[in-house]
Amino acid sequence: MKDYQGKTAVITGAGSGFGLEVARIAASRGMKLVLCDVQQDALDRAAQEFAAHPVLARRVDVAKADQMEALAAAVKERFGAPHFVFNNAGVGSGGLIWENSLNDWDWVLGVNLMGVVHGVRLFTPMMLEAAQADPSWQGHIVNTSSMAGMLNPPNMGVYNVSKHAVVSLSETLYQDLSLVTDQVKCSVLCPFFVPTGITQSHRNRPDDLRGSKPTRSQLISQAQTDKAVSSGKLSAANVARMVFDAMDEDRFYIFSHPQALQGVQTRLEDVMQGRNPTDPFKDRPDIGAGLRKALREA
């Protein structure tokens, strides 16, 4: 997909981070914008920024099926089938995996996984219908996962599970699309540590899914993630450009930090050789020792 002028982009999590930067590139390429976010003030600022473009802005909790269904109906009525769907909204949560509450699981899987599920189940049929009606029609779906969807870093299990599921969903979507069309493609975005608002995503956590007082492991995870994300060298704008490069090149995997793939290779070698999972801190034993000490303190 290389021609964007006059086409429609649906972007979830559009009020900040990757979503906002992708919207900026989409606007610069002449696309009509459908902006979705659960945070109303951020959504309002984004809508105002793109006021000169055809824009449909809606406050949407992507975890809610009825809200996503209403969004899809509004998009179809206003613009028809979207050409680009960026299932990007996401939240973060860490801690030792047995310490995550049911509310933690419902919140993280609801946004990170079911948000993508809803985007795929609602917009893919619309895109396929448009492709069938017009042999020249092209579309692309990009789902945001994470390097945590390719690895299993400790002390952030609920997030890992959600992002592995998005990789699996996206790889299956790629294969399923290839069975029925050459006109609709998909990609999966797997960023590493990039400064966005995800480390503060609890600001938008629904009241009915609030957690209890954070455990020691959850506080440690939050501090480590804050530090890692804030020190990231790549910006959200850099990653947004990678998304469009991948669509231009019809490339499925989008890795912001290719050097992190060494860890993926090690994990796959563990699987192929039937060996126990390799210590994720083998190259930085000081970090591993510090984490173990912190978690084992009374």
CA distances from 259 to 113, 150, 153 (A): 26, 13, 16
282 burial level (CB within 10 Å; 0-12, 13-18, 19+): exposed
Asked if 241 contacts 134 with a C-beta cutoff of 8 angstroms, the reply is no
Q: What would you report as the CA-atom Rg of the chain, rounded to the nearest whole angstrom?
A: 19
CA distances from 5 to 1, 134, 154, 290 (A): 11, 17, 44, 52
Q: Left (φ > 0), alpha (ψ -120 to 50) or beta: where does 46 sit?
A: alpha
Asked if 11 contacts 34 with a C-beta cutoff of 8 angstroms, the reply is yes
Residue 208 has a CB neighbour count (10 Å cut-off) of 8
Q: What are phi and psi of 37, to 5 degrees?
A: -160, 155
Which residue in the list 4, 159, 174, 253 is annotated as catalytic? 159
Q: Report how far residue 186's alpha carbon sits from residue 237's, in angstroms, rounded to the nearest whole number.
A: 20
Task: Examine the residue annotation and report whether 159 is marked as an active-site residue of this protein.
Answer: yes
Catalytic residues: 159
